[in-house]
Amino acid sequence: ILLVILSYCCLFHQWIYTLVTKRWAVADYSYCFLIPIISIYIIWEIRKKSKPHSFAYSSPLLGYGFLFIATIFFLIGKLGSLETFIYISIWLTIVGCVGVLFGKQALFRYWFPLFILAFIVPAPPFITRIMSFRLRLISTKIAAYVLQVIGIPCYREGNIIDLGITKLQVVHACSGLRYVIPIIIISLIIGYLYNNRNLLSGFILFILAIPMAIIGNAVRLILLAICSIYISLAVVENQLLHDLMGWVVFILSVGIIFGINWILIKIFGNKNFMPQHQNSFRTLKKPNILLHSIIITVLFVFLYFVQLVVFSKQIVPSRQSFDSFPMRIGDWIGKREFLSKKILNSLWADDYISANYYNIKTGNELHLLISYYNKQTALHTAHAPTSCLLGSGFDLRIKRVINPNPDTNRNFKVQQMVLYWAGKKVLSNFWFESRGRVITSEYLNKWYLFWDGITKHRTDGALIRVEMLLNQNQSISQGQIILDSFLVKLKPNVKPNIAPASARNAKPINYHLIFRVFV
């Protein structure tokens, strides 16, 4: 088992470190630090409540199935630059190792703590931002409605509540995301401990946890609004009071969950604190832990060296840097701007161009951002523009792919988004330049990263995004025509990279030989 643990850490050490220091360190997912402790505690309680010698070793095939799925997730995550897939493989590998070393029966017995352990995987950033944005809107709508009902005049615009004397802006930290997932986890644990044999009551508890968290966040906004009007505006500006009020509302929400659970127990009956596992085996089968440990270790070492071989063969094409990128494109005159070190660290780009352009005929303004990547990995790849814009406070109204337009000479597809920000309408276009392809889907781009990484040994590419502020009387179709005039002139300046002849003639990786060596 120690051999398995060492090989597991060797394969995943970089990702475990990133998961703990970067993903868990974010306030929305700081609860993840408690998940392994909770999982281990429940496992210990199950063992303590179980009868002695009630556990028999059974088939390891289900465990090997989980290890196979974990391997697929790991390879797709590495080659497709999908960080979350690698984190999922970290969890699936643990489940698989339990199933292989201790048998199928162990997976059935400890299914709940292993399921809770899955919460160590935070949601992808784009899902986090979309969830946060939606929760902000819901909480803001509820708070504004209640304030109007109780006689406090207010006006809501997006995620801003205008109280006249001040404005409450529901930012990302106030979205309620920090309430929702922890309360869901708490409801699952309470349902398992007290209602584990009644699926209906556990399901009811789980369903009620989500609106409870949203309503709890809306209550906090209402209290802040009332305090700012009847006590002092300093309440809204005091971060300590913000946090204190958040803790109070969260504890009250958890208390309500316990109250609902007590009612469910009265309705459906009381259950044991922990399930008693009966002995369903007449004879005990001793597992060959040494053999299975060696097989798992060989698999981990194999994956470790495969990723080294694959990424050492990645080709980095030669290209011209953005230093001489034109600041005059048709009727558009631009001025380059340089991003801060903090933004560059989150952008991960090897080269970039960020510039603001002004149309001398129509008076429109737009922002251009092109981020280029020599090699893309899970921690070094293009961000989804949707999540970045939503994280910046934009309200997404329309997202669609628009076909080439022969009237404007735009001969390639683009992803179009219509956003609202501070009462202004913004028209956005973006696409991925991926090894000679124009790709408008974030998911399809990930697939081609995986496929080209295997077949072409190339993962270079760029993300091109443009945001244009529409004038007061301009429609979306009129704005797209104006934006096309910029994109048509921009496209020749974004040339596909060509791999050097020596790299094109290089022998591909013999994956069949690697597989034979492993077998």
Count the Cβ atoms, other than its own, within 10 Å of residue 375: 18
∠ at Cα 350 (349, 353), nearest 5°?
Answer: 70
Residue 506 pLDDT class (50, 70, 90 cuts): very low
Residue with tokens 């007061």: 472
pTM value > 0.75:
no
Predicted local confidence at residue 505, as pLDDT: 47
Residue 359 CA to residue 209 CA, distance in Å, equals: 51
In 25-124, which residue ranges form alpha helices assigned H by DSSP? 35-49, 61-79, 83-102, 104-109, 111-117
Please provide the distance, in angstroms rounded to a whole number, between the alpha carbons at the two ends of the chain.
22
pLDDT over 70 at 126, yes or no: no
User: Which uninterrupted H or E stretch holds 294?
Assistant: helix 289-312
Give the amino acid at 7.
S
Nearest to 172 by CA among 51, 28, 12: 28
Residue 460 pLDDT class (50, 70, 90 cuts): confident
Return the top range by mean pLDDT from 136-140, 267-271, 423-427, 504-508. 423-427
Predicted local confidence at residue 64, as pLDDT: 92
Strands (E), 310-413: 328-329, 332-336, 351-359, 365-373, 395-402
pLDDT over 70 at 237, yes or no: no
Burial class (CB in 10 A: 0-12, 13-18, 19+), 94: buried
- Tell me phi and psi for residue 281, to 5 degrees: -120, 135
pLDDT tens digits, 383-411? 777 766 655 556 777 888 889 988 888 88
Give the amino acid at 328.
R
Predicted local confidence at residue 113, as pLDDT: 93
Residue 235 pLDDT class (50, 70, 90 cuts): low
pLDDT tens digits, 304-349? 888 777 666 777 787 788 888 888 988 899 899 888 888 887 787 8
Residues 6 or more apart whose Cβ sits within 8 Å of residue 54? 277, 278, 279
In 150-279, which residue ranges form alpha helices assigned H by DSSP? 177-195, 199-230, 234-237, 239-268
Q: What is the mean pLDDT of residues 415-431?
A: 84
Higher per-residue confidence, 217 vs 490: 490
Say if CB 161 and CB 233 are below 8 A apart: no
Share of the chain above pLDDT 70, in %: 80
Say if CB 153 and CB 79 are below 8 A apart: no
Bridge partners of 431?
Answer: 464
- DSSP codes of every residue in 239-256: HHHHHHHHHHHHHHHHHH
pLDDT over 60 at 175, yes or no: no
Say if CB 117 and CB 35 are below 8 A apart: yes
